[in-house]
Amino acid sequence: MLDRYEREIDYLRLSVTGSCDCRCPYCVPRGETVRCSSLLSADELAELARAAVSCGVRKIRLTGGEPLLREDIVELCRGMALIPGLEELCLTTNGIHLGRLAPELKRAGVSRLNVSLDTLLPERFQRLTGHDCLGEVLHGIEAAQRQGFDRIKLNVVLMAGINEDEIPNLIAFGGKRALDVRFIELMPIGPCAAFAQSHYLPAEAVLEACPELRPAGRDGVAQLYALPGGAGRVGLIRPISHKFCAQCSRIRIDSGGTLRPCLHSTDGVPLRGLRGRELEDAIRAGIQSKPRGHALSAGAVCQTQTMYQIGG
Ligand code: SAM
């Protein structure tokens, strides 16, 4: 459906849990335990997804927190993939449990995967995430490719002084494996804003580190580039330096069941407990309240929660 700024809203990011096993400093405030007390049930999530599809959503991305921590994630995906009118069911994961779950996710009807991976160096990975398990993530990516997941996207958050030296290696890693490597500008979100402000790196740094990249169109909010003769593509997602709100087609539902019209909206529309027509009307109202744009480029932090709470 169209929002009041004539944007077609057809993409829902649905957070299936607020729990996560990683401690990435841009997402989890230091010392915080990431546990979610009141998960939405599989039935509640399915009802939200069906209602969103009735309101014009064609693509759903399951996210969190870490979606693969849900014990019923495979059944959840199986049910959602069958919703009439839903064209794509995608999932974003840290990849730690992907090796074990990739075959079942594929059979359940998940069409696309994004894997978050900010570094290819084991020690750095441990420092950033709190886990010594880069090997598991790499194994998970391989397992997913063996199952036929095509064009997996690697999400790399760009961090000045932390992983900027790895830009060429990450691009080469993706190129060798036909993965799309997407560099995302660090956003100052909620209580992690100070980290983001001190490590922000504009995505332009990718083009400087790899001047051979050539423009190759767009994919949603990502500007695409390719290496001459290379198999993988490189995407730049620039919420700060090149605001893309005019092209935004998404809404979010956080792990508590509140619809967030924009990632940076502090208020939202509570959907938990609503059913049928009432639920659809509330989703439509949420879409109509989507703001024209966020104010991050003006230096403001517009969010009180962090990404794992909202659903990245
Ligand atoms: N656990 C899953 C994962 O690791 O992909 C899904 C949730 S995670 C919050 C989704 C994405 O949000 C990840 O790619 C993560 O890197 C990104 N993210 C989290 N906080 C961010 C921030 N402050 N700025 C930019 N990206 C962020």
List, in order of start, the domains of the chain with CATH numbers. Answer: 11-310 (3.20.20.70)
The rounded Å distance from CA 229 to ligand 1 centre is: 30
Atom number of ligand 1 nearest to Cα 20: 1
Tell me: pLDDT of 102 over 90: yes
pLDDT category at 176 given cuts 50, 70, 90 is very high
Secondary structure of residue 195 in the 3-state scheme = helix
Substitution site in 115, 137, 155, 263 for ligand 1 pocket (most atoms within 8 Å of beta carbon):
155
Which is more confidently placed, 241 or 141?
141
Nearest residue (by CA) to ligand 1, atom 5, is: 93
Within 6 A (CB) of ligand 1 lie: 20, 26-27, 63-64, 66, 92-94, 116, 155, 157, 184, 186-187, 189, 192, 196, 307-308, 312
Residue nearest to atom 10 of ligand 1 (CA): 312
Which of the four pLDDT bands, split at 50, 70 and 90, describes residue 265? confident
299 torsion bin: left (phi>0), alpha (psi -120 to 50), beta (else): left
> Rounded mean pLDDT of 128-133?
96
* Range 81-99 average pLDDT: 98
CA of 156 to the centre of ligand 1 (A): 9
Dihedral (CA of 291, 293, 294, 295) sign: negative
For 40-73, how does the pLDDT look when each residue is reduced to its tens digit (9 = 90+)? 999 999 999 999 999 999 999 999 999 999 999 9
Is the model's pLDDT at 303 over the cut of 80?
A: no
- pLDDT (tens digit per residue) in 198-234: 999 999 999 999 999 999 999 988 999 998 877 779 9
* Interaxial angle between packed helices 98-108 and 73-81, expressed in degrees from 0 to 180 and rounded to the nearest 10: 30
What is the pLDDT at residue 238?
A: 93
Q: What is the pLDDT of residue 300?
A: 62
For a mutational test of ligand 1's pocket, the pick from 23, 157, 181, 254, i.e. the residue with the most ligand atoms closer than 8 A to its C-beta, is 157
Mutation probe of ligand 1 site: the residue of 24, 27, 198, 254 with most atoms within 8 A of C-beta: 27
User: How many A from CA of 99 to the centre of ligand 1?
Assistant: 20
The Cα 230–Cα 210 span in angstroms is: 13
Share of the chain above pLDDT 90, in %: 79
Q: What is the pLDDT of residue 310?
A: 77
Give me the pLDDT at residue 266, please. Answer: 78
- pLDDT > 90? residue 299: no
Of the segments 23-32, 143-152, 262-271, which one has the largest average pLDDT value? 143-152
- E strand segments, the chain: 11-17, 59-64, 88-93, 112-116, 153-158, 180-185, 214-219, 222-226, 233-237, 250-253, 258-260, 269-270
Closest C-alpha to ligand 1, atom 17: 312
Using the mean position of ligand 1's atoms as its centre, give its distance from the Cα of residue 244 in Å.
18
- What pLDDT score was predicted for residue 142? 98
Least confident of 85-99, 140-154, 254-268: 254-268
Q: What is the pLDDT of residue 62?
A: 98
pLDDT of 228: 80
Kindly state the tokens that stand for 113.
């995967």
pLDDT band of 38, cuts 50, 70, 90: confident
Q: What is the pLDDT of residue 268?
A: 92
Which pTM does this prediction carry? Answer: 0.95
Measuring from atom 25 of ligand 1, which residue has the nearest CA? 186
